[in-house]
Each structure stands twice: as C-alpha cells, then as structure tokens.
Structure 1
C-alpha cells in the first residue's frame, strides 16, 4: 500500500503550492520541521510529527505544540550531526513511506539547499520516490537505465541534469531540443542545463548504464498578478 509523506521544512514556502499538496488526500502524513511548523500553525494544519531543534521557531508556537497537543515531537540539540530535514527524511523511512515530498527545502542559504539535494540519496537508495518541490522547481534523483519524461507531465518547460558527485559514462538524451549520445556527464560543466523536449516529440528518454543523476524540472518565476 502506497503512503505519501510530506515534509514541511523551514525554507521558502509557496502558500498556494504548499496548501494544495498538504490538502491532497494522498498526503497521509505531515512532518513539520523547525520553522516549517510556523506555516502549519498559521494555516491550522496539525502535523503528524514535529522534528527540529526549534532554534528558529517562535517560542509561543513551540510551547503550543509541546503543551496543548499530542503531536509526537522529536526535539534535538542544535549541535548535532545531521540537518533537521535529514532527520525528518530518516523518520519518513521508518514510517514506511513509498512517496516523499519535501517542501521548504529551497530558498535562502545555498548550503542548506545543497545539503537537502544530497539528502535525497537516502530515500533514493531505499527505493522511495522522493522529490524536493517549490513553485519553480522539482528535484529528484534518477539511476541507471531509462527514464521517460512526458511533455504533458513535465513540472515546467525546462529540465537539467547533473551527476551526483561522479562522472556518468554513456549518457544519452533522446527526444530533446539538445540531444546527447554516448556523452560523459561531468560535475564541472553546464552543458546539460536548461534543455527542453523537442517540439515534435512527446517525451524525452534519459538513459545511462550506471550511477546517480540529479534531475531538475524547472519553470520561470510566475508573473506578478
């Protein structure tokens, strides 16, 4: 049985996107992480679990969850060996998730963003469909074999790929505006940024024999209403 868990972390949160995901009936478990708890509190959404060191949460909100609710809280010392988001990801695996959406993992400090991208390796190795999402980006990891991306399912008009730490040999992109054949994907060039599905194609197929690749589906910032 599939189980979707949503982590609400303390980075940038788009209200419309976040609420649409949290209120989706597929979202069976919500984990509030540190400052992300303030978003849940403001929108009267009760989390299933709370994780964090509470170094950036308003004291009255932290006290509310500690004293007036039965929400399980895993509170940690700020001096620890893993980020709050990583701890929440590991909790998600122990809860038996088959799908994991991480919100509030982008915006603000780039070191936090990169740590969150690397943290996707944990659910990926466990066979869990995990992705980071915000209003402009969806980030996931893909492995060796074929990955099909349909035009009508793309999160945005662009996609980019980056190796996760190592060179990827025999890398191919078919059906794209900028195709590749038997390419060596390296971590030190920007060749594979901002590609698109070709106008006359319905899908792109990314294939490579082994390794791990970061896939980003992206779109430009929404115009102000």
Structure 2
C-alpha cells in the first residue's frame, strides 16, 4: 500500500500532483484537504482542527468526505503527526508527505523529525516538494538511480554523528568517512552513472535529492 498525505503548507511548494495520482491512498490534513478537492482528489481519510479553512470550505469538506476526524486546535500532536500515526497503522510500503515545507520553520523542522517515526516502524516516509525529495535511513548499504528532475544528492547527519560513509558512482566519491552535526562535507553531490551506492555503519542519515530553483 502507498499512502500520500497532503498537509496544509504553502501551495507554491507542492509539486504537480498529476505525477502522483496513480495507485495511492490519499490522506488530507487541515487545509490540505481543500487543496486535494480542488485537484479532483477525494481523500480516504482527513484529520485536522480545520482552523485554516473558511466556513464554506469546511462545509464542502464535510459534505464530500466519508471519514473526517476533527480535533481541537490545542492538543499534544500536530495534525500531520496524527495523520502519520494513522497511516503507519495501515503498514504501507511507503508514505509520501506533501505540503510539509515552506512557511513556518517550526512546522517544517517538526515534519522532518516525524520521519523518525517511519524509521522506528520500518516504513520509509518521504517529504516531497517542487524542489526536493528527502527521507532518512539507518546504517546499511543503499542504491540510488539517476533522477533527472532532481540531479543533486546531499547527505546530512540526523544522529550526532554518522560513521563510515562510502559513496561510489558519485562525482565526489568518499571512502569510510565520518560526519557529524555542523559538517557540510556531503552537501550537493551528483551521480556520475545511472546508479550509485552509499553506505555507512553507524548513525542515522538524511538523504536529500534536489534541484535548483528556476522561477517561471
């Protein structure tokens, strides 16, 4: 099962949903529900306090959705965390989160930390916007394929240190290097071949695939 979560972040950061519509169960969060409905996607489940939608928008949401969970604005979890917790219980193969970047930095940083829930559960959670795809992994060996839309690859430590990073098939290869918070050694690399590998033997690593911003 593939689950897509649309949160209520700035709409200018959301990628083209036509590239993501097929084969996914959609979950809406707060004003992200309204965004989905505008793009002819009716989410299977929705969560939120809905304090960021108008009364008419909320009435439409109530009329069109079968499963809607409304929470008070003052609570111990963000709406996005509630949606991720619900999604993880479905044991999906992958969760993609949209609308989670831009706007308030506290929400963005919180959304990044929510990726750890997937790591604990054994389910990858990815954050997608129109410039970036990011996710976190624990120690091991991984293969990356060339992604022409997102040519840059960066690696950042989530744990205090990440030990034994080795990169092969990259423009800037590495062998058995350690990085820690505050290091920028692994920022902005590129694959030189169709496939490359990265591995490390201790820590938690964030992988960011990105592209430059080109205003239209």
Common topology (TM > 0.5): yes
173, 176, 198: which one pairs with 1:179?
173
87, 99, 105: which one pairs with 1:104?
99
Partner residue in 1 for 2:190: 196
Q: Relative to structure 1, is the Cα distance of residues 113 and 70 closer, same or farther in structure 2, using a 3 angstrom cutoff?
A: closer
SS in structure 1 at match of 2:3: strand
Which residues of structure 1 form unaligned runs of 5+?
none
Quote how far apart the aligned CAs of 1:165 are.
Answer: 2.9
Partner residue in 2 for 1:164: 158
RMSD: 1.8
Mapped to 1, the partners of 2:81 and 2:149 lie a distance apart of 24
Question: Which piece of structure 1 moves more, 101-110 or 168-177?
Answer: 168-177
Partner residue in 2 for 1:75: 70
Mapped to 1, the partners of 2:149 and 2:125 lie a distance apart of 15
Q: Relative to structure 1, is the Cα distance of residues 8 and 70 closer, same or farther in structure 2, using a 3 angstrom cutoff?
A: closer
TM-score, reference length from structure 1: 0.88
| Residue pair 2:14, 2:130 contacting (<8 A) in 1 also | no
1:135 aligns with 2:134: no
Mapped to 2, the partners of 1:95 and 1:39 lie a distance apart of 24
Provide the aligned length of Structure 1 versus Structure 2.
215
Q: Deviations over 1:110-156 (max 9, x none)?
A: 221111111011122212132111111000112211111122x4651
TM-score, reference length from structure 2: 0.92
Which residues of structure 2 form unaligned runs of 5+?
none
Mapped to 2, the partners of 1:59 and 1:94 lie a distance apart of 31
Mapped to 2, the partners of 1:71 and 1:222 lie a distance apart of 40
- 1:81-92 to structure 2, matched below 5 A, reads 81-92=76-87
Q: Relative to structure 1, is the Cα distance of residues 60 and 111 closer, same or farther in structure 2, using a 3 angstrom cutoff?
A: same
Mapped to 1, the partners of 2:54 and 2:17 lie a distance apart of 21
101, 109, 116: which one pairs with 1:114?
109
Mapped to 1, the partners of 2:118 and 2:149 lie a distance apart of 21
Quote how far apart the aligned CAs of 1:51 are.
Answer: 0.5
Quote how far apart the aligned CAs of 1:6 are.
Answer: 0.6
